[in-house]
Amino acid sequence: MAKRKIVAEHCIVRNGNLFCTHCGGDQEIQYPLNPIMFIAISEAFREIHEHCEKTWKQPIVDQSLTEYQKANWWLLHGERGVSSETIFQKIDGRIILKHEGCHPLDPDDFRRCYLLLETIPEWKTKLHLMKKVSPVWEKLVDNWDKLTEMLEEQLATGKANGMYQTMKSLGA
């Protein structure tokens, strides 16, 4: 079997859908889906978006909105993962997950949590509520400022800086 060259790295899965980070195009994926069909749909999406120009920019929430409006905006436009959805569910109270207690496992998971708190900065003062979710969440919240600094450094330099190891030492 010949190896395929993977191109169009800007075609990703985002919030459960196929997404092009160049043009902003997306395609909903209907789950459950067997792996063979997922690969076929993904490859077709990649071919369509392989040569897209970089025109899409991550939308930014209007900070003059109310806290509730920003939360709704994040549900529609925010980059989400189970750990950021866990924060959302605990602080907002709306049930959006079938499971509870998921914490960020790596810097990319933490980045999505960070982006949620950048979208709804009022929640930074409520982050202590996450300590009740699990012992790991308690350690992460206690070290949130340090992890935030490490993430911002990593985003600025594009280089790993030990954040993953720090998160693992906290139980993540």
Burial (Cβ within 10 Å: 0-12, 13-18, ≥19) of residue 52: middle
- How far apart CA 145 and CA 152 sit, in angstroms, is 11
Contacts 24+ apart (CB under 8 A), 9-17: 10/49, 10/52, 10/54, 11/42, 11/45, 11/46, 11/49, 11/50, 14/79, 15/79, 15/80
121-165 tens-digit pLDDT: 999 999 999 999 999 999 999 999 999 999 999 999 999 999 999
16-62 tens-digit pLDDT: 889 998 999 999 998 888 999 999 999 999 999 988 999 988 889 99
Tell me, what's the pLDDT at 119?
97
Tell me, what's the pLDDT at 101?
82
87-111 tens-digit pLDDT: 999 999 998 877 778 999 999 999 9
Residues in the chain: 172
